[in-house]
Structure 1
Amino acid sequence: MFFKRLSKSKSTPSPAPAADETAKLDTATSVPVPALQASNGAQALAAADLRRTVDGKSLGFKTTADLKPAAGLIGQDRALKALDFGLSIKARDFNIFVLGPPACGKSTAVRAHLAKAAAASETPSDWIYVNNFSDPRRPRAIALPAGRAAALSKGLVSALRELAAALPVAFETEDYKARRSAIEEEFRNTREDALDAVYAKAAQQNIAVLRTPLGFGMAPMHDGKVVKSEVFNQLPETMRRDVESRIKLLQSELETILSDAPKADKRRRTQLAALNQDVSQNAIEDALDELSAAFSDLPEIAAFLAEAASDLAENAAHLIAQPGSRAGALSEDAFSQDGRFRRYLVNVVVSQKDAKAGAPVSEALDPTAANLCGHTEHIQTAQGSLSDFLLIRSGALHRANGGALMIDARDIVNSPTAWSALKRALKSGEINIEAASDGLNGVTRAERIEPEPIPLNIKVVLFGEPDLFYRLHKDDPGFAQLFKVQADFDETLDRSKDNDAAYAQLIASIVETHSLKPIDAAGVARLLEVSSRIAEDSDKLSIEVGPIADIVREADYWSDGETRKTTTADDIVRALEERTRRANRIRDDVLESVERGIVLIETKGTKVGQINGLSLVQKAGFNFGRPARITARVHLGQGRVTDIEREVNLGGPVHSKGVMILWGYLAGRFAQDVPLALAASLVFEQSYGAVDGDSASSAELLALLSALADTPLRQDLAVTGSINQLGELQAVGGINEKIEGFYDICASRGITGTQGVVIPRANRQHLMLREDVVKAVKDGRFAIYAVKTIDEALTLVTGLEAGDRGADGRFPAETVNGRIEARLRSFAERARSFSLGKDGAAAGSAT
């Protein structure tokens, strides 16, 4: 549905013509131009039929300040009951799709309804991610009672700060230093004693132990000096072998000592680690005792704190502040930046600390995969791109978990990865951050972490227009499986005393929401009329709250200029006029082109095969009617109607369908006993853009019938309406704008008193015409005719009886249908004489 804005003609209508002028003969033809009266079943509508007005006095209040503002939308019981059902049923595949027109306020209303339901629901858990000390690549997710995650995070930071200050002190005591020195000394002395024993034994055997850059070496000695190799080689063989044997034994002992050194050093380190753990244990317990006691009721938190305490004790030596630093003065942020402390912190991804009691209701404004399911950030290090549990970021699903998440359907469907991620999360019942974060922002990560999934308990509410809902339901099986609740908002509300009063309360809520001045009863009455205009139905009110709210705010602006304390009906009218003035340049250009004779439109006289059709132009939310000349030509042929718009690819499928229906009517009525041996062409003159829709099919048929009967049509009338094969006129859209478009042209040239528009009778209920058009009708200067059949319209636009078949099965010769029948018989006879249509088929074709 498009917003139809009210507008006024820029030309002043001419006064009504004298009564004796309304029935004068047109100088170009011998066909009389009838006065403004209906004939042959056509109804000339009274002014009261053209616009349903509202008397502000009947509303029962002075201004909107006297009213209680409406909470949410009105008259949407079906949709709200569907919402209640979708929220109440526990199954995770019963998510909700809210469908309705845009700018109808459905998101505001649904948000208010969800908030009311959420307030009575249980507040969901907090969620944190912590380091997995066994496998840091797989951080653990832990749930906490609502509001306690923040306390845990703050308490852990305080404990670590205290520990950072206490540990250096514990490792600087004389007792620790003495115990450490004893361990070091014990292992150092043991090794040195073993080496000294080897040295002494070697000396007793005149063997020297030498240290070289490559290790230890041995050589024979004599008189305290090392024997040179050339001297040693001159010794008797038995002596050399004896020396070499003693050296080999000593080397074996030395190798044993040296090979035991790593094991001994490992024992040393083990003892030192045990010492460090023992010394740090008291400081760790003192720092964490209070926090452990506060969370002892949560087994998972207690287990995490115990693991953290054990890891702290094992790595205590590494946590001692570097020389010259003041560990106790570290800020809260310093712990997350300091690699020594990061692994012991917690990452609060969801906290209910500052949230209102009840379940959360939120909206995903930018529903990308990462924004929905969360992501992991990365930092650049010398080793490459790295991540850890503290770089996990929550998504909209995390924050709305346990409640409801609202998403614009078109936004998420336009992002395939986000749409897939959402369906995957809903189907599995868990939020998997790893899947959403892989390749974030198109970057391939060198290292990934795999956070533990978080269980998902949520109702997702999608918003969209009906066409999107039906397309998804048809083309996406996953959608139908997961969104089983349809909350369908009505586009309109029936007009009644109660509903008018409820709509006034809705206007009062707009005033309150935007902090505007009160609107008086007459202004509200005018807005009710505008709402019916938007609904394109005098018996309905539009629920498109957005346009109404815009008008209210603009009217408030104009009332400021008049220094009024209350917005009045005059301000509403001013707002509507200004909105039209800002948007109607194209309409004025069209009107000017007609006034200057550039676009050929006649508003008086008669012509054969020529009629004024009406089209609707839609430009950026501003709609206006534009008359279009439609012409028809006929001649002898083989039963073919050429739709020129279609032939040049300017006619849309609905327009082409209308032409084919037109042909069906013609063949069904006049080709029962003779073939349609004619050829015809139809065209929208001076139309250079695409033409679609069948609302001009009745005008096209009238032009064709006129050409066949060689009977002129009134040019002071314009015709709209679609035709069916039975000759009945059917309702069309944009009826108000179409009527006003022809009226504006007539008014700019000077109202003659005979001009008017022929519409389908089914469109009567849709009339909410501008007040200047209604006044022209009331004064007898313009007319709106409602017809049910093409024969009624034919009589009206020709001034002749259409004619009914007599007992002989023929139409009376003097009627329009009689003339058509005679013309078609003459075509058939001439075709036969020229040997055309040898099979005598009665049916033709329409293209």
Structure 2
Amino acid sequence: MGISFIFYYFAQKIAGEADFDFMKDNAYHRLKNNYRLQACDLKRYTDPNHLPKSSRLRLPKPDIAFGQSRAIKALNTALDIHANGYHVFAVGENGLGKRTLITRLLAERAKHMPTPNDWVYVHNFEDIRRPIAIDFPAGMAIIFQQKVHKLWQNAKKKLVAKLLGDTHQNHIELIKSAIPLQQNKRFDAINADAKQHNLVLKTTGDGRVHFVAIDDSKPIDNKKLTQLQKQLLEAQIELSELEDSTHDALDELHQSTAKKVLEPMFNAVMASFENHPKAIRHLMAVQDDMVKNITHIINEDDDNFIATSLSQVPSRYVVNILVSHQPSAGAPIVFEDLPTHLNLLGHIEYTTELGTVLTDVSMIRAGALHKANGGYLLLEAQSLLEHPYAWQGLKRALQSKQIKISSLEQMLTLTGSLSLEPDSVVLDVKVILLGEADLYYELLEFEPEFNSVFKVRADFHDDIQRDDYSEYGMVLKMVDMIKSHQLPNFDNTAFAVIIDELSKLSDDKNKLDLHADRLAGLLAESARIATLENNKIVSAKHVQTALDDITERKGYLKDLYWQEILNGQQIICTKGWAVGQINALTIISYADSEFGLPARLTALIQPNFGQGEILDIERDVELGGSLHAKGMLIMSSFLRALFSEFHELNFSASLAFEQSYGQIDGDSATLAEACALLSALANIPIAQNLAITGSMNQLGQAQAVGGVNAKIAGFFDACRDKGLDGNQGVILPRTNIAQLMLRDDIVQAVKDEQFHIYAIDHITDALALLSGMPIDDKNKHGEYKRNTLFGKIVKRLESWVQDDKDDKDNRTAKN
């Protein structure tokens, strides 16, 4: 049991306090053997010979539902139902490969689904602010656009040739010649009459006509002048009407000529789209508009009829393809990595000319909903919620089953300028949000309509039960990754090491971690090591080297802590005995890594003060979390139940993690705290060569905790660096055995009996291992025997009660 422990015992004996017996060495050894785990319990190894031996090219593709059958079933349910709200929220940690798996599932469905329609926007000749949306079967939008644009180009050439031809120009001159003939005839008659009254018509430089005297010396008949002026006005009005009628005649000539040119051309195009009424109506509207505006088209005196450099077509005749598909492409699968309001629902671009903001139908742009319409849209939920109004826009579109492109500035009344209001597009899409569980539950709580829009939750698991089937499936998954990333071949020894590592990552020897991102990274780094060593096959040693490199790369913070332990700044005892002092095990989490560290935990008792209160120093200085506080309360409840039936708890206690300066949470130190406190209450030393981790309930039963592999490794490293003596080890709940996937060097140390792992069921088991004495044996009266640890505590409680009674009696006597 150690020299220091024997010295302690005899010191207590001399002081008259050692009225109990410690276990003999052989009894203590047998006790340890009852709880000691064998090396085979500490890690589950994969036999490379049990893995598939086929070459990677001959192995089948991995099952798409491997490890995620629950999620796949939920997805299929949502995809099969076409009622409102059956969209999906895929719940799972980042790096699980949710998107890849879902995309593969959707791809299998999509190729058997009909290809959705194409959509175009065209100019609305009745209301220019409301462009018209037209849909076509897949592949026809580009045909429609090409035919319309080509139609414009050909039509303009023919119109120019026809209207500038000699025949048409002769008709124009014939119509125009009537004006000067009629003008000369009327003005000559008026002028002849005026000359008889000493007046003549004169035309000024600005084109005005008026009467002047022929001979200023002769008088002018004002009455006649008034009459002549009236005749002149009537002639001017008549000539103006003649000009108007001439212009009308010219317009009619131009339009009738244009119509004769355009009608057969448009009829030929319309024949190609006879089953598309909206397309026919648009072509007819284009024809009518070109006929009405033939002079602008020919003269190019209006920007609305000048072809843009990009499309070679005036904007009013542009066919803007919003979305188009290959005819046999199947349903689209779209992942939008920047789900802003504009990127989801589309937007309208603008240009500025001379300070004026301009836009037209050609500047309407599709959003992800347009591109995914008729298929599937995948979005990262976190990214969606980070962009203002994106969620509201998506929700509104899904609820109304329409995509309405609207200016965000107009919605927020940030601008007074007018904008386009394009027709809505009918929406038929399945949306799949990807996110973690916390975000999903926040949406459920704070977004009342969320559950009515995303009715299906698909839960993706972090791990899978480890058995022959899952190991085989994992090999298939790795082979698929190796092939897709064009990595060198891996042999079965490499696969075996990786499978063992996946169990370690899952913190359970009977499970395999399913994080595809981590697995892909390990495969890539292992392949790199093999390539650097000029090996064409990746084997176990390359994987192990990659794992060591990853550990070293992430070990900066751990090294800083470890230096403090090695140089004595962080005080950790791995030998000897001490009262109220124990080695607890902690986990330090930093970014994407975590490691275990031992931590000294101490308990102090103040007799005759208080009623069993336990001061949690971490809690009082606000370094302890709620779970840690819960563990303290459970421990306090256990102690009260244990001893209150015998005596008053006439003491107070304090517990602290020494040299701890950061936040502490979790209940995994509850066993350690209880053991330290009971050691202090009994004034019995406990072994410092042992560390302990574990939670416990109010009945004292040990309960499993997380991070047990890292915690054991932390204490083992401390013992190794300070010197292994064959007595050191870790105590843990028996229910944690399934989680053990220890490092090979720790397993070897246990095999060589240089280090030990003890599994317990109850706190009394831990106390026996730590103290080396009986814990809770009772006599025939149901009282704890004096030679037990609990008996020692009872004796001390009795003495404190008696001391308090004597003190009160003395004070009473003095009064």
Q: TM-score, normalised by structure 1?
A: 0.89
Q: Is the 8 A contact 1:387 1:447 kept in 2?
A: no
Q: Which of 546, 549, 555 is the aligned partner of 1:575?
A: 546
TM-superposed deviation, 1:801:
1.4
TM-superposed deviation, 1:284:
2.3
TM-superposed deviation, 1:193:
3.1
Q: Which of 153, 160, 174 is the aligned partner of 2:166?
A: 174
Q: Is the 8 A contact 2:315 2:361 kept in 1?
A: no
Structure 2 match to 1:384: 356
Q: Which of 213, 222, 233 is the aligned partner of 1:255?
A: 233
Partner Cα distance (1:62, 1:132) in 2:
64
Partner Cα distance (1:509, 1:724) in 2:
46
Is the aligned partner of 1:282 residue 2:274? no
Structure 1 match to 2:297: 319
Letter in 1 for 2:640: A
Q: Is the 8 A contact 1:500 1:528 kept in 2?
A: yes
Structure 1 match to 2:657: 684
Partner Cα distance (1:38, 1:128) in 2:
84
Equivalent residues in 2 for 1:424-443 (5 A)?
Answer: 424-436=396-408, 438=410
Q: Is the 8 A contact 1:49 1:764 kept in 2?
A: yes
Is the aligned partner of 1:511 residue 2:509? no
TM-superposed deviation, 1:498:
1.6
Distance 1:187 1:812, change over 3 A: farther
Structure 2 match to 1:13: none
TM-superposed deviation, 1:382:
2.4
Q: CA RMSD in A?
A: 2.7
TM-superposed deviation, 1:505:
0.8
Partner Cα distance (2:366, 2:670) in 1:
58
Is the aligned partner of 1:706 residue 2:698? no
TM-superposed deviation, 1:214:
8.3
How many residues matched?
A: 792
Structure 1 match to 2:713: 740
Letter in 2 for 1:370: L
Q: Which of 622, 626, 630 is the aligned partner of 1:653?
A: 626
TM-superposed deviation, 1:444:
4.2
Is the aligned partner of 1:368 residue 2:340? yes
Structure 2 match to 1:39: 31
Partner Cα distance (1:623, 1:73) in 2:
30
SS across alignment from 1:258:
helix
Distance 1:439 1:42, change over 3 A: farther
Deviations 1:491-536 (A, max 9, x none): 2211221221111111111111111122111211111111111111
Letter in 2 for 1:791: T
Structure 1 match to 2:17: none
Deviations 1:522-559 (A, max 9, x none): 21111111111111111111111211111111111111
Structure 2 match to 1:29: 8
Structure 2 match to 1:622: 593
Q: Which of 523, 527, 538 is the aligned partner of 1:556?
A: 527
Structure 2 match to 1:98: 90
Partner Cα distance (2:300, 2:688) in 1:
99
Deviations 1:358-377 (A, max 9, x none): 11011011111111111110
Q: Is the 8 A contact 2:585 2:598 kept in 1?
A: yes
Structure 1 match to 2:215: 225
Structure 2 match to 1:525: 496
Distance 1:27 1:384, change over 3 A: farther
SS across alignment from 1:416:
coil
Once the two structures are overlaid, the 10-residue window that deviates more, 375-384 or 672-681, is 672-681
SS across alignment from 1:320:
helix
Letter in 2 for 1:296: E
TM-superposed deviation, 1:55:
0.7
SS across alignment from 2:691:
strand
Equivalent residues in 2 for 1:319-358 (5 A)?
Answer: 319-320=297-298, 334=309, 336=311, 341-353=314-326, 357-358=329-330
Deviations 1:615-666 (A, max 9, x none): 1111221211011100111103223211111111111121122112211111
Q: Is the 8 A contact 1:802 1:817 kept in 2?
A: yes
Is the aligned partner of 1:246 residue 2:238? no
TM-superposed deviation, 1:584:
1.1
Q: Is the 8 A contact 1:62 1:521 kept in 2?
A: no
Distance 1:164 1:610, change over 3 A: same
Letter in 1 for 2:597: R
Q: Is the 8 A contact 1:63 1:520 kept in 2?
A: no
Q: Is the 8 A contact 1:139 1:389 kept in 2?
A: yes
Structure 1 match to 2:514: 543
Deviations 1:570-600 (A, max 9, x none): 1111111111111112222222211111100
Distance 1:336 1:782, change over 3 A: same
Letter in 2 for 1:106: K
TM-superposed deviation, 1:114:
0.4
Partner Cα distance (2:87, 2:55) in 1:
41
Once the two structures are overlaid, the 10-residue window that deviates more, 650-659 or 125-134, is 650-659
Is the aligned partner of 1:127 residue 2:100? no
Structure 2 match to 1:5: none
Partner Cα distance (1:275, 1:158) in 2:
25
Q: Which of 134, 145, 161 is the aligned partner of 2:137?
A: 145
Q: Which of 759, 783, 797 is the aligned partner of 1:824?
A: 797
Letter in 2 for 1:568: S
Partner Cα distance (1:481, 1:257) in 2:
78
Structure 1 match to 2:577: 606
Deviations 1:385-414 (A, max 9, x none): 111110001011100000000111111012
Distance 1:513 1:214, change over 3 A: closer
Q: Is the 8 A contact 1:79 1:488 kept in 2?
A: yes
Structure 2 match to 1:240: none
Letter in 1 for 2:185: D
Letter in 2 for 1:522: T
Structure 2 match to 1:159: 151
TM-superposed deviation, 1:287:
4.2
Partner Cα distance (1:281, 1:835) in 2:
122
Distance 1:173 1:37, change over 3 A: farther
Letter in 1 for 2:114: E
Q: Is the 8 A contact 1:38 1:44 kept in 2?
A: no
Distance 1:34 1:103, change over 3 A: farther
Structure 1 match to 2:784: 811
Distance 1:290 1:703, change over 3 A: same
Partner Cα distance (1:34, 1:377) in 2:
87
SS across alignment from 1:462:
strand
Partner Cα distance (1:458, 1:378) in 2:
29
Q: Is the 8 A contact 2:201 2:212 kept in 1?
A: no
Distance 1:732 1:546, change over 3 A: same
Letter in 1 for 2:459: D
Letter in 1 for 2:350: H
Equivalent residues in 2 for 1:664-679 (5 A)?
Answer: 664-672=637-645, 674-679=647-652
Letter in 1 for 2:718: I
Q: Which of 289, 292, 296 is the aligned partner of 2:270?
A: 292
Letter in 2 for 1:477: P
Distance 1:656 1:226, change over 3 A: farther
Distance 1:685 1:404, change over 3 A: same
Partner Cα distance (1:755, 1:33) in 2:
19
SS across alignment from 1:39:
helix
TM-superposed deviation, 1:779:
1.2
Letter in 1 for 2:125: F
TM-superposed deviation, 1:174:
1.2
SS across alignment from 2:280:
helix
Structure 2 match to 1:471: 442
TM-superposed deviation, 1:39:
2.6
Q: Bigger relative contact order, structure 1 or 2, given CA contacts below 8 A and separation 6+?
A: 1
Deviations 1:253-308 (A, max 9, x none): 33333345554433332222211112222332354344222222221111111111
